[in-house]
């Protein structure tokens, strides 16, 4: 039976759901401003063979606001959710910002992650430097009137436009520095990549980001591309959920072969 959880952490409270059951536990990490609702097609496709743990990050969805929206704070929230649910070796599935979170968490916690699926994220690419930061700030300043309108759809956080920009700047810097992180990941990690552009990034720029994975894939045999799908970055969870579910099963199978005892 699905449990609804309110998880206190630092100065906020995270809203979460845990389907429970004997299946392999999967924790889902959302896009930068998205709520957990976007994972529904994936969890429905995977069904009861997995235990699904979803949560809204700080100031997203039904979770409370915070004074700290940093990438490092979001990493600590993963630990808080795992402790609240009693999960020790999760399989992490992240989309966009969440993919970067998943990769960093797995690298910092060797042996604790059963595997990772990165959905169009965790690529060694990002807008950095003052020029990149200014571009991000201008983009979100221009969208400041739109953010409250798309918040009920789970596409924006309970933040100001400037806070949205700061989150984006933070993850761009983490993404640009992720190559050595990916090279050190010791668990099975699979990428499901989209095609085309995205809000704030044109098709050519997004494809350059995906191409940046090639040297890292050559360095670490634990990493592979499971699929490249026709959906763009924003549509991938809704349109290509089956490919994502297949990647989850692939990673779970790879972990089972490496760890028959499940430990």
Q: Where are the domains of the chain?
A: 3-125+176-258
Distance CA 110, CA 106 (A): 6
What integer pLDDT is reported at residue 126 of this predicted model? Answer: 86
Work out the burial of residue 263: count CB atoms within 10 Å of its CB; fewer than 13 is exposed, 13-18 middle, 19 or more buried: exposed
DSSP H/E element including 192: strand 189-193
Encoded tokens for 156: 């924006």
Encoded tokens for 97: 């910002």
Identify the residue whose tokens are 């990772």: 116
What integer pLDDT is reported at residue 249 of this predicted model? Answer: 98
Could you report the per-residue pLDDT of 175-194, keeping only the tens digit for each? 999 999 999 999 999 999 99
What integer pLDDT is reported at residue 199 of this predicted model? Answer: 59
Contact 160, 143 (CB under 8 A): no
> Angle of helix 71-85 relative to helix 97-108, nearest 10 degrees?
70
What integer pLDDT is reported at residue 127 of this predicted model? Answer: 86
What integer pLDDT is reported at residue 262 of this predicted model? Answer: 56
- CA dist list (Å): 160 to 37, 151, 152: 22, 12, 15
pTM over 0.75: yes
**Tell me, what DSSP letter sits at residue 116?**
E
What integer pLDDT is reported at residue 261 of this predicted model? Answer: 66
Q: Is 18 helix (H, G, I), strand (E, B) or coil?
A: strand
Which residues of the chain have a pLDDT value below 50? none
Question: Whose CA is closest to 64, among 157, 199, 136?
Answer: 157
* CATH code for residues 3-125+176-258: 3.40.50.1820
What integer pLDDT is reported at residue 211 of this predicted model? Answer: 87
Distance CA 147, CA 164 (A): 9
Question: Whose CA is closest to 101, among 83, 84, 79, 134?
Answer: 79
Average pLDDT score over the chain: 94
């Amino acid at each position: 039976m699905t449990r609804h959880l309110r998880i206190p952490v630092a100065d906020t409270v995270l809203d979460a759901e845990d389907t429970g059951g004997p299946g392999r536990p999967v924790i889902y990490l959302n896009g930068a401003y998205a709520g957990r609702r976007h994972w529904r097609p994936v969890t429905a496709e995977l069904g009861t063979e997995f235990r699904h743990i979803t949560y809204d990050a700080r100031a997203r969805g039904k979770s409370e606001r915070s004074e700290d929206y940093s990438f490092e704070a979001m990493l600590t929230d993963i630990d808080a959710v795992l402790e609240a649910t009693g999960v020790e070796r999760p399989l992490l599935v992240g989309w966009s910002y969440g993919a970067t979170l998943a990769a960093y968490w797995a690298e910092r916690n060797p042996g604790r992650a059963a595997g990772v699926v990165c959905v169009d994220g965790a690529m060694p690419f990002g807008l950095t430097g003052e020029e990149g930061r200014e571009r991000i700030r201008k983009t979100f300043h221009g969208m400041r009137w739109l953010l409250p309108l798309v918040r009920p759809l789970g596409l924006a956080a309970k933040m100001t436009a400037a806070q949205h920009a700061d989150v984006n700047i933070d993850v761009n810097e983490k993404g640009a520095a992720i190559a050595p992180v990916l090279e050190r990941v010791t668990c099975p990690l699979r990428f499901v990549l989209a095609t085309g552009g995205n809000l704030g990034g044109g098709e050519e720029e997004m494809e350059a980001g995906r191409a940046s994975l090639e040297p890292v894939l050559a360095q670490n045999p634990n990493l592979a591309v499971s699929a490249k799908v026709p959906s763009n970055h924003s549509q991938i969870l809704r349109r290509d959920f089956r490919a994502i579910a297949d990647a989850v099963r692939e990673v779970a199978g790879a972990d089972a072969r490496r760890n028959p005892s499940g430990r």
